[in-house]
Amino acid sequence: MHRMESLESRLGYKFRNSLLLAEAMTHPSLAYESQRPHFDNQRLEFLGDAVLQLILTEDLYRMFPDFPEGRLTKLRSQLVSRRALARFALTIDLGSYVLLGKGEEATGGRRRMSTLADGFEALIGAVYLDIGYLGARELVLRLFQSEIEALAGSPEERNPKGELQESLQAIHPQAPSYRVLGESGPDHRKVFHAEVSWRDMVLATGKGKSKKEAEARAAGEALRTRVWEKS
């Protein structure tokens, strides 16, 4: 199977114009190195961002008729954050198909969150140009189905451990690990202390009334400080 046909199979969509797919998968670093500065995925990324925003805004607007603008904006941001888009890209192994310059390839660009998120947006932009809004909408809602269903079931619920794992695995496949450092207080009011680490780096600690709560607090603190970006 041709390389891009394999991506189409994962995406569940066959392009009419294969050049659009090639453009969506061309990282600016390759366009620069090959001296084809006008053939990269930045314009499609710009378009795909707007297409995604409209499709998901419309769906959330219909799904939560009683929600004010602020809550709808918060829910949409959960779906279209760089972290979330990078995770969607990982589910179709998009990083394996991005065409990178040698320098970007050598520095781990294939797993970089920005590369994955931008490539995913460019892919949606390419689908929109290839088939139009209704077809793009059908594809996006299919790809986002489980996330949208999760929002519908519990729109306010936040999963810091899941969010942290998504953030880190967009950079490297290794998952974060948790360990309980200890506990304090009397039996009826115990406080657990937990630590989260990743690739031999301590990210944060947290306290809670249970091991699960302490781990979630540690994950939430890690998301707040994001020490892995500063190392």
User: How far apart are the C-alpha atoms of 63 and 228, rounded to whole Å?
Assistant: 36
Residue type, 159: N
pLDDT at 14: 93
Which pLDDT tens digit goes with each residue over 114-162?
889 999 999 999 999 999 999 999 999 998 888 887 777 665 556 788 8
Q: Per-residue pLDDT averaged across 47-51, rounded?
A: 97
User: How far apart are the C-alpha atoms of 190 and 210, rounded to whole Å?
Assistant: 8
Q: Which domains occur in the chain, in start order?
A: 3-157 (1.10.1520.10), 163-229 (3.30.160.20)
Res. 65 pLDDT band, cuts 50 70 90? confident
Q: Per-residue pLDDT averaged across 54-74, rounded?
A: 89
Active-site residue identified among 40, 45, 49, 163: 49
pLDDT top residue among 76 and 156? 76
pLDDT at 1: 39
Active-site residue identified among 59, 104, 121, 130: 121
Claim: this prediction has a pTM higher than 0.75: no
Residue type, 133: Y
Which pLDDT tens digit goes with each residue over 86-126?
888 888 888 888 887 776 666 665 677 888 999 999 999 99
Q: What sign results for the dihedral spanned by CA atoms 219, 221, 226, 231?
A: negative
pLDDT at 202: 95
Which pLDDT tens digit goes with each residue over 167-190?
898 888 888 999 999 998 887 788
pLDDT at 112: 77
Q: Give Cβ neighbours of residue 59 (< 8 Å, ≥ 6 apart).
A: 141, 148
Q: Give Cβ neighbours of residue 46 (< 8 Å, ≥ 6 apart).
A: 125
Q: Are 170 and 113 in contact (CB under 8 A)?
A: yes
CA angle 96, 98, 102 (to 5 degrees): 100
pLDDT at 4: 75
40 in catalytic set: no
pLDDT at 84: 87
Q: Dig out the tokens for 170 from the structure.
A: 């967009």
